[in-house]
């Protein structure tokens, strides 16, 4: 099991996690309209209640690219 110690903003922590995932060989699958429908619907609700979670998810995605 891999463990990543992170610090900083939620985005910075996600970025560190994403970079680690990339280093370990993880690749994000290419998105398509069908797979993006549900997350886009959730984004507004999550953004209202826990915007820092969106920041972390964006950091992970950016770091894994």
pLDDT, position 35: 83
- List, in sequence order, the alpha helices (H) in the chain: 10-23, 33-49, 51-64
pTM: 0.81
Cα separation, 61 vs 51, in Å, equals 16
- Contact in structure between 9 and 56 (CB atoms under 8 Å): no
Angle at 45 between CA 35 and CA 11, to 5 degrees: 80
pLDDT string in tens for the chain (65-residue length)? 678 889 999 999 999 999 999 999 988 788 888 888 888 889 989 999 999 999 999 999 999 98
DSSP at 50:
-
């Amino acid at each position: 099991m891999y463990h990543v110690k992170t610090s900083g903003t939620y985005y910075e922590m996600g970025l560190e996690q994403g970079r680690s995932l990339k280093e370990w060989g993880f690749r994000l699958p290419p998105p398509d309209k069908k797979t993006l429908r549900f997350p886009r619907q959730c984004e507004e609700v999550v953004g209202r209640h826990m915007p820092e979670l969106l920041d972390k998810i964006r950091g992970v995605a950016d770091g894994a690219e």
